[in-house]
Structure 1
Amino acid sequence: MTVFTAAVLQMRSGLEPEANVAALEGLVAEAVAAGADYLQSPEMTGMVQRDRAGLMQHLRGEADDLVLAAASRLARQHGVHLHVGSTAIALDNGKVANRAVLYAPDGSIKARYDKIHMFDVDLDNGESWRESRTYRPGEYAALADLAFAGGPARLGFAVCYDMRFPHLFREEALAGAEILTAPAAFTRQTGEAHWHVLLRARAIENGAYVIAAAQGGVHEDGRETYGHSLIVDPWGRIVAEVDGDGPGIALARIDTAEVAAARAKIPNLKNARPFRVGEDGNSVRVTGALEAAE
């Protein structure tokens, strides 16, 4: 059994990375003072910038990124695990990575994850997004073991739109993840309809905690995000939430024994079976969780 305190840091990131770093520093200090051991910031912590030219103007590589440098320093200063939900990182091919980075308490990088699924959608009222025009999708899921006095806790990574792809979370759970993450900059329109139900579903179907820090409010680039950063327990109960869309923090006690208890009650990870889709002789193979678990 591993027990620790997790915090979600809700932000309203703007156009200037320096200002966003200052906001992150303040929220980290507040959460650490409240007893947090693991802290998660939202997607696009470093800059919420819809204009591609404006984004590229401030963009840096991982080694020179202001947010990542600050996160490393803060993790080391406070002796905590600090998970930058994501920030935009320049790549060498003119594209951009939407990258999550987890820092260990000594300030070293524990894990990286590049968002796999691109938010290419057309919503009501003319709201349209094409992340693939700017960002290069990731190709690998990521796991990391958080080290605490009571033992390790395994963390699985995702970012925002990834939460609509349950097989990503299922594969991470089958690989031992007890805590699933989904830092986000969810639009208000989709957040009001789907945010709570999607996160609770990912927790329930995997018997895992889900931690999702969010952007919230009207940003300098004109977009509006939903907020309501959440921590959901393995039974699907919301155990912490930032109420509304303003900057703030919320904390919850994480106990991996609750993961084991939920998975013992509803052993769907073990009970899943491989199956086929289609008629006999003309079917597509689908690999079920049972094979992966074995």
Structure 2
Amino acid sequence: MKSYLAAAVQMTSKPDLEENLATASDLVELAVRRGAAFVTLPENFSFLGQETEKVKQASEIAHKSEKFLKTMAQRYQITIVGGGFPIPVGDGKVSNTALMIGKNGEELARYEKVHLFDVNLPDGNTYQESETVKAGVSLPPISISPELGKIGLSVCYDVRFPELYRQLSKQGAEVLLIPAAFTAYTGKDHWQVLLKARAIENTAYVIAPAQTGNHYARRTSHGHAMIIDPWGLILSDAGEDPGLALAEINPSRLEQVRRQMPVLNHRVFG
């Protein structure tokens, strides 16, 4: 693992595939111009609309999303992550799949979101992700790169389940990816503290690209894409507008924190 710049992209995706991909392309280019070697896109980066429309368009979304990621990776010679998009799995359902692509266009890791967001919020919004999404059944993979380190994937609601990240850290994860479309209501109280907790308890970098603002109807996301260091310090926060969080991932800092706070060596129960 070498020092490198990572970018967590922040978007306001809409129910328009082509518009979203055009916006994502601009933000990837911006990240590359600023020196990023690793660019991460949020959950639902290519489509964020009604669930029925998502399922109806899933084949096109899946095809164009994967093609887009491979094109961006090869064009700019970067590693890129699409933080969650629908892929048809039959029976009228999709998987919520995060995909990591290497700079030669090769697939490095694929993860189907395990924890589905079925929640009734006090603001009156109801989310039933399981109505249209089939949950994954496997732990997220670790992508091992001599340049970028050991990277563990996850998606959004996973952040509330620390045992998932403990499993990733047991496999050696140095960087935890948490792409999200976190709701505005829960985000104001929980987003930052959960991200910092996952970084601190696993002494790992956290990269969290995010959705922000209003997408359609009452669907609104919190924003604040972040990159957090292994001590829990926020290195970059994208705020509430579309844009980037950009920060250095430094192996020396990782080693320093793990030496000073060796919690991974002190585990008793796993």
For normalisation by structure 2, the TM-score amounts to 0.96
Distance in 1 (CA, whole Å) between partners of 2:107 and 2:114 is 20
Deviation at 1:93, TM superposition (A): 3.4
Map 1:229-244 to 2 at 5 A.
229-244=225-240
What is the RMSD computed on CA atoms of the aligned residues?
Answer: 1.3
Distance in 2 (CA, whole Å) between partners of 1:222 and 1:194 is 20
Map 1:16-31 to 2 at 5 A.
16-31=16-31
Aligned match of 2:182: 186
In the TM superposition, structure 1's runs of 4+ consecutive aligned residues that sit over 6 Å from their partners are none
- SS of the counterpart of 1:184? coil
Deviation at 1:5, TM superposition (A): 0.6
Distance in 1 (CA, whole Å) between partners of 2:253 and 2:82 is 25
Deviation at 1:221, TM superposition (A): 4.4
Provide structure 1 residue ranges, at least 5 long, that are not aligned to the other structure: 274-287, 290-294
CA deviation profile, 1:139-178 (whole Å, cap 9, x unmatched): 1221101342xxx500001100000000111110111000
Decide whether the 8 Å contact of 2:6 with 2:38 is kept in 1.
yes
Decide whether the 8 Å contact of 1:41 with 1:84 is kept in 2.
yes
Distance in 1 (CA, whole Å) between partners of 2:197 and 2:214 is 27
Deviation at 1:192, TM superposition (A): 0.2
Distance in 1 (CA, whole Å) between partners of 2:257 and 2:232 is 10
Deviation at 1:61, TM superposition (A): 6.9
Matched, 1:223 2:222: no
Matched, 1:269 2:264: yes
Deviation at 1:125, TM superposition (A): 2.5
Q: Which has the larger radius of gyration?
A: 1
Deviation at 1:52, TM superposition (A): 2.7
Deviation at 1:65, TM superposition (A): 1.5
Matched residue pairs, number?
269
Matched, 1:41 2:41: yes
Deviation at 1:270, TM superposition (A): 1.3
CA deviation profile, 1:249-276 (whole Å, cap 9, x unmatched): 1210101222222121111111111xxx
Decide whether the 8 Å contact of 2:55 with 2:132 is kept in 1.
no
Decide whether the 8 Å contact of 2:55 with 2:93 is kept in 1.
no
Determine which of 196, 204, 207 is the counterpart of 2:203.
Answer: 207
- SS of the counterpart of 1:65? helix
Decide whether the 8 Å contact of 1:15 with 1:221 is kept in 2.
no
Deviation at 1:53, TM superposition (A): 2.2
Determine which of 72, 75, 79 is the counterpart of 1:74.
Answer: 72
Provide structure 2 residue ranges, at least 5 long, that are not aligned to the other structure: none
Matched, 1:95 2:93: yes
Distance in 1 (CA, whole Å) between partners of 2:135 and 2:69 is 23
